[in-house]
Amino acid sequence: MTADDPFAHLHDEDYASPFDQLRVGHAQLVQTGGRLTEPVNGPWRLTLDLFDEGLRQRWYADDDTPPSQWALPRDYDVEAGEPVPVPSCWNLLKPHWYQFEGAGWYTTMLPWTPGPPGERVVLQFGGAASHALVFLNGQCVGGHAGASTPFSIEITQAIQAGPNRLQVMVENRRRADRVPMHHIDWFNYGGLYRSVELLRLPQVFLRRVAVGLVPGSNGGRVFVEVVASDPIDAEAEVIWPTVQEEPCRVQIRAGRGRIEIAAQPRLWSPASPTLHDVLVTSGQDRWQERIGFREIITRGHDILLNGEPLFLQGVCVHEDDEAVGKVSTLDDVERRLTHARELGANFLRLAHYPHHEHVARLADAVGVLLWAEVPVYWAIDFADPATYCDAENQLLELVTRDVNRASVILWGVGNENADTDARYRFMRDLAAAARAADPTRLITAACLIDRERFAIADRLAEHLDVIGLNEYFGWYEPDVSGLQRLIANSAPDRPVVISETGADAKAGHRGTGRQLFTEDWQAEFFRQQWHVVRGTPWIRGFAAWLLYDFRSERRQTRFQRGYNRKGLIAEDKVTKKLAFEVLSALFREETR
């Protein structure tokens, strides 16, 4: 503390607490539902706040008055910010920003022309890494926690005719009480890295619509569930000509409504990814989507898709790109799915956080199954109620966004968490929250081996439909015989999916035998793994770790240089390693 700055010892988080009550979550999230949106992307001004001055000095109250007209000096000037694209990750915009972790202030001018009386205006954020506060014309209109889930902020009362100054403070500090925590195995990108859009809505609108097969109906009944923007009594009409010739009606009471009807729509599957046009109207609002109908259940050790046994063979993937970081362009998502299909995969695990909404939409269209998860990763602060609330909210935002995506068959609630009492309660409750929000999908988690019994014996398993197992026998363990021993010691009563397994290989590095970091050992690793896995009847899935090499600053050997090299394809997303062809041959042999 100094005489001229009595607040120098405080951080911006001390000034953020008054805004906590304005934080939005899954209850405020608005599904876009085919409605027209107005993009708020393009060039914004960005000022990195290295000394956490922004909230204390009220940067959100500053305007674009030129310095020549200031009555008193300031330490912040909107126009002094760097012009940057949105969406983007700030780490890759300038070399000296590469490792920055902290707060950044984005500013743009948002022009607005008022619409008809009663119109409501909502800002839609695809993702802000990792925490955000949003200000409009100097007023805080909302905040959000979580890097990878969407959020909606209504600005009806704050927006004005003409230009509006929109500011977003985004910060990406790693902290032990956050989700994910401070210790992660991927790159900590920061910024407004997904699209920002403006949504104009009528005075009463449909906030959420879920459409699908009624669980347990054997494909003979469908449901429509709606949540309105307000606790009103109203009616919604559902038009779905390929499901039922005549429209049907949903009675909304206190803002919620649900119907179930007998119908047998053509079902969705990877072999036949059929989608049906569904339009739901209520008052002046229109919501529309292309929906795939399918049933995913377990029976004993089997996973059944539309009543048929399913073996999940695929690969994990991170959102990471050499040029744009965590930004996912449509071309990049198409490339991921194309490579997965070239591999012979029917399945992708989206590690370790919600990926861009393009992924599930395109997977619906081409017929790829998905495991989608939230970043309850490693040693989360399981004893902290606030951390649980953060995790549950991110999970429910993911469910709300992707509830109508047929390709998503698994909600993942955690990854590699040690089996403690606090963790058990946390994950048990998270699994229950996922099941209550969406009973049409399976619940899973990537579990660790019980080292004392050397078996699959996680207490959480009783709350899961599918047990995920991360194991690296032949890489972090000497050889694959450990996997054989683990299998011999285990007797799960439900299906198991190998949710991660793999070996690092530097593209172009070759060698014989178990020579680490060679393409040859990576390929042999998968041969040995596949032989053991396919000989185990209760293992019903296999996800190679992983599709592309990706940034991870924990990895600093001469072969890694800040990258996890377990990809089947190098970080250029072009160079395929030997293991890609080997695993592809194994996958295709399985399907013959």
Indicate which CATH number applies to the domain containing 253.
2.60.40.10
Helices and strands (H, E) in the chain, number of each type: 8, 30
Contacts of 147 (CB under 8 A, 6+ apart): 127, 128, 129, 130, 172, 353, 375
Nearest to 468 by CA among 449, 441, 481: 449
Q: SS3 for 129? A: strand
| CATH code for the domain of 133 | 2.60.120.260
Contacts of 556 (CB under 8 A, 6+ apart): 562
Domain end: 171, 201, 231, which one? Answer: 201
Q: What is the reported pLDDT for 18?
A: 77
Residue whose pair of structure tokens reads 């190098």 in the numeric block: 570
Positions of the chain with pLDDT under 50:
1-10
- Statement to judge: residues 477 and 440 lie in one domain: yes
- Statement to judge: residues 288 and 377 lie in one domain: no
Question: CB atoms < 10 A from the CB of 205, how many?
Answer: 22
pTM (predicted TM-score):
0.96
- In the chain, how many domains are there? 3
Q: How confident is the model over 342-394, as pLDDT tens digits?
A: 999 999 999 999 999 999 999 999 999 999 999 999 999 999 999 999 999 99
Within a domain: 1: no
- Statement to judge: residues 51 and 184 lie in one domain: yes
Q: Are strands 302-305 and 308-310 parallel, antiparallel or unpaired?
A: antiparallel
Within a domain: 271: yes
Within a domain: 339: yes
Q: Are 348 and 341 in contact (CB under 8 A)?
A: no
- Statement to judge: residues 152 and 258 lie in one domain: no
What count of residues does the chain have?
592
Rounded CA-CA distance 129/318 in Å is 15
- Statement to judge: residues 345 and 466 lie in one domain: yes
- Statement to judge: residues 370 and 222 lie in one domain: no
Q: What is the reported pLDDT for 10?
A: 47
Domain end: 201, 228, 260, which one? Answer: 201
- Statement to judge: residues 290 and 302 lie in one domain: no
Within a domain: 104: yes
Q: What is the reported pLDDT for 4?
A: 47
Within a domain: 6: no
Q: What is the reported pLDDT for 590?
A: 67
Rounded CA-CA distance 258/250 in Å is 6
Q: Report H helices in 2-65.
A: 12-16
- Statement to judge: residues 309 and 241 lie in one domain: no
- Statement to judge: residues 379 and 514 lie in one domain: yes
Within a domain: 132: yes
Domain end: 279, 294, 309, which one? Answer: 294
- Statement to judge: residues 344 and 481 lie in one domain: yes
**DSSP code at position 377:** B
Q: SS3 for 291? A: strand
Is the alpha carbon torsion for 153, 154, 157, 160 positive or negative?
positive
Q: What is the reported pLDDT for 272?
A: 97
Q: What is the reported pLDDT for 9?
A: 46
Within a domain: 183: yes
| CATH code for the domain of 387 | 3.20.20.80
Q: What is the reported pLDDT for 14?
A: 65
- Statement to judge: residues 313 and 258 lie in one domain: no
Q: What is the reported pLDDT for 62?
A: 77
Give the domain extent around 117.
Answer: 12-201
Within a domain: 5: no
Q: What is the reported pLDDT for 66?
A: 87
Q: What is the reported pLDDT for 5?
A: 44
- Statement to judge: residues 385 and 408 lie in one domain: yes
